[in-house]
Amino acid sequence: MRSHFTRRQLFQVGNVSIAGYFLDSVFRPVNVSAKAKVRPRGNADFCIFVNLSGGASHVDTFDIKEHRWTPPDFDIRTVKPGLRLPSGLFPKLTAGIDRLAIVRSMKAWENEHIRAQFYLQVAHSPSPSRLKEMPSIGSVIASEFQTRRREMDYLPPFVAMNFTSGAFKVIGEGCLDSGNAPLSLETDAGFDFVIAPEEQARFRRRWEVLKQLERSGPDAGRYQEEFQAHYRGAHAMMVSPDIRKVLTLDADDRRRYGSSQVGDACALARNLVGAGAGTRFIMVSHKGWDTHVDIYGKNAQYKLAHELDNALSALLDDLESAKLLGRTLVCCTGEFGRTPGELTVNKGRDHFKDAFTGLFAGAGVQGGRAIGTTDDLGTRITDPGWHRKRPVYFEDVAATIYSALGIDWTKSITQTPSGRVFEYIENQSGTEFFEPDEISELFGA
C-alpha cells in the first residue's frame, strides 16, 4: 500500500464516487412513484451479492447431474432427502446446507456476457439508447436509503469489489445522482485512501490547501459543487478513525476466507456490514467462471469451487456469529449457466441461458432445500417450484432483494434524460410479457 496520497488521487477517489455526495442534498432530483400496492418484507438492512462472473456450470455445482463425464472426486452425496450435492467441491457449504436455499429453476434472457451481466445487475434488458441512464439495482438501493443516512455514516451505500472493465464491469447510477454510484474496489490493489498514521498530518495540510484552491477558482455552478461534494464525501470516509479497521484484513481472516480474491472481498463485505456505517448493498465479483476450456482442470472448476466454498461459508459463519445474518440477504449466482451433457471439443462448457442455479441465505430465508427442478441433464426446467409457475428471472431476484430491504419494487423514475420512464422492474423482457414478483417461497411463504 502506498503511503503518499496526492491531490490527483483524492480527485480520482472522489470522481469514482468513493462516497459520492451522499452527505449533501440531491443535485438532480428525480420523481419517483409507485404503480401498484405491494408489501415489501423489510426484514433486511443489507444485501451481499456474490456474482459468479462468467456463469457457473449449474450441472457441475448446485444442480449436479451424474453421468459418465462426472469426475468421481466430486463426491456427490445426498445431504437432505431429494437434495444431492458435490461435497468434494463444496465440503463447507454442504455441511452448512441448512442455511442455504437453492433455486434450480432460474432462466436468463441473454446468452452473451456483456448483455447478460447488464441484465443481472440492472434487471432490465440492455437498450443501446438507454444504457447510460438505467441505474443498477445497487444504485436504486443507494437512492432509496438516502433519506435514512445518519450524520455519522461515513461509508458509501453501494460498494462493488473486483469488477474489471468490459464484460464484467460494475453498472453504475444511470440517471440517478452520482452519489448513488458504487465505490469500486480491487482487493488486490490495496486502498490508497486508507491514510497511514504517519501521513495524517500531511493529509490534513493538503486538504486545507485543496479547499483554498477550490474557493479561489471560478464558480462553475452545479458541476463545481458536485465535484466539491465528491471531495467532502471522500474526505468523510478517509478521516474516519474506523476506516482502517473496516478495510484491513489480518492473516487469520484471509486464511479462513481462503486466501483468494473472492475470499478477501467477502471478508471486507462482512466488515462493511458489521460497521453499520451506511453501506447497504455490496456486490462481489468472483472471476473466472467462463469455463469454455478444460473445465475439470485443476485451475478451473476445482479451484473456483474451493474458493467459493471457503469464502461464502466463512461469510455466513461470521454473519451468523455476529447476529447479522438475519438482517442480511446473501445472494450468489452468475449471469447464466453452462451447456449440459457431454463436454465440448475443448473439454469445457459453453453459455447456456435456459436453466441455471442461484443460492440464497439470510434475512429469513429458509435453508436446507431446493426450489425447482430440471431434467436429468439440466437442459430444461421441469418444475419451477414457486407460485408463478414459470422460470425465475433476474427481475424476480431483483424484486426479492428490493422486498427484503423494504423497497416497493413497482416504483418508477419519471424524470430521465430520454424522457422515458424507468421502472425499477419492468413486466417485459423485450421478448415477452410477464408479472415480476418476489420469490416468497425462499421465506417459506
- Domain map of the chain by residue range? 30-189+251-443
* Residue 219, pLDDT above cutoff 90: no
| Encoded amino acid at 314, one letter | A
* Residue 3, pLDDT above cutoff 50: no
* Residue 43, pLDDT above cutoff 60: yes
- For residue 368, which of 85, 105, 96, 106 has the smallest C-alpha distance? 96
Q: How far apart are the first and last CA of the chain?
A: 48
Q: pLDDT tens digits for 389-418? A: 999 999 999 999 999 999 999 999 998 999
d(CA 304, CA 308): 6
Please state the rounded mean pLDDT for residues 97-119. 97
* Residue 384, pLDDT above cutoff 70: yes
**Residue 118: count of CB within 10 angstroms of its CB:** 24
Joined together, the cell numbers standing for residue 393 give 428471472
Q: What pLDDT, on the 0 to 100 scale, is given for residue 437?
A: 96
Those residues with Cβ within 8 angstroms of residue 393's Cβ, 6 or more apart along the chain or in another chain: 106, 107, 108, 109, 429, 434, 436
d(CA 430, CA 412): 18
- The more confidently predicted of residues 196 and 300 is 300
Bridge-based pairing of strands 101-106 and 369-371 is: parallel
d(CA 420, CA 24): 27
Q: Residue 29 half-sphere exposure, CB side, CA atoms within 13 Å? A: 3
d(CA 226, CA 221): 9
- The more confidently predicted of residues 11 and 110 is 110
Contact 144, 407 (CB under 8 A): yes
d(CA 434, CA 425): 11
- The more confidently predicted of residues 14 and 96 is 96
**Cβ-count burial of 433 within 10 angstroms (0-12 exposed, 13-18 middle, 19+ buried)?**
exposed
Residue 8 phi, psi dihedral angles, 5° rounding? -60, -45
CATH of domain 30-189+251-443: 3.40.720.10
Helices (H), 107-260: 113-122, 137-144, 200-216, 222-238, 243-246, 251-256
- Residue 256's pLDDT band, with cuts at 50, 70 and 90, is very high
Q: What pLDDT, on the 0 to 100 scale, is given for residue 4?
A: 44
Q: What pLDDT, on the 0 to 100 scale, is given for residue 261?
A: 96
Helices (H), 292-404: 301-321, 394-404
Please state the rounded mean pLDDT for residues 367-386. 98
What's the pTM? 0.88
Q: What pLDDT, on the 0 to 100 scale, is given for residue 233?
A: 64
d(CA 221, CA 230): 15
Joined together, the cell numbers standing for residue 226 give 458536485
Total count of residues recorded for the chain? 445
Using DSSP's 3-state secondary structure scheme, residue 118 falls into helix
Residue 311 phi, psi dihedral angles, 5° rounding? -70, -50
